[in-house]
Amino acid sequence: MTEKEKAKQGLIYNPNYDEELTKERNKAKEICQEYNNIKASDLEKRKEVIKKLFNKTGENFLIEQNFFCDYGYNIEIGENFYSNHNLVILDAAKVKFGNNVFIAPNCGFYTAGHPIEAKERNKGLEYAKPIEIGDNVWIGGNVVVLPGVKIGNNSVIGAGSVVNKDIPENTVAVGNPCRSIKKI
């Protein structure tokens, strides 16, 4: 089984010893660099480059520069997706955003994690768990969403939160760790 196949199954894998994964990461990073250097007012070119990078997009979306990801092909965004500056998506596993998702500046969505044991971690091993963001979700500034998290429809995540567990739909959630504080 290749390291890429292990990653797709959520198993521990080594992304640094797989030529295919390394090549795909380099390609995605070059596309991100291209995207980040497009004139801000050239919205059509920006949209064209994101469509080339992502697995799936809606027709109406805007991702402010700078943007960074690992592979791109594991990312799906719905209609009316908006992300402010400095979005980072570490997409070793699938990252799916629904429709009408708004993301404030400096947010990260990290599907990759590493073993707790130092001996294993120091070998460069990691795992990847998918992230899913529902429809009509607002993510505040400086939010981090960790591997395997699902955020339900119509929810709001407060600025500075670290989301390490699922958030139900119709919820306001805040904090580190992020927790539900109010039903909508």
Residues with catalytic annotation?
114
Phi, then psi, of 112 in degrees rounded to 5: -90, 140
Structure tokens at 123: 């070998």
C-alpha 59/C-alpha 41 separation (Å) is 18
16 in helix, strand or coil?
A: helix
Angle at CA 72, nearest 5°, toward 114 and 125? 20
* Local structure of residue 56 (DSSP, 8 states): B
119, exposed or middle or buried, with CB in 10 Å at 0-12, 13-18, 19+?
Answer: exposed
Helix residue ranges, H only, 16-151: 19-36, 43-53, 118-121
Structure tokens at 159: 């600025």
C-alpha 116/C-alpha 77 separation (Å) is 31
133 in helix, strand or coil?
A: strand
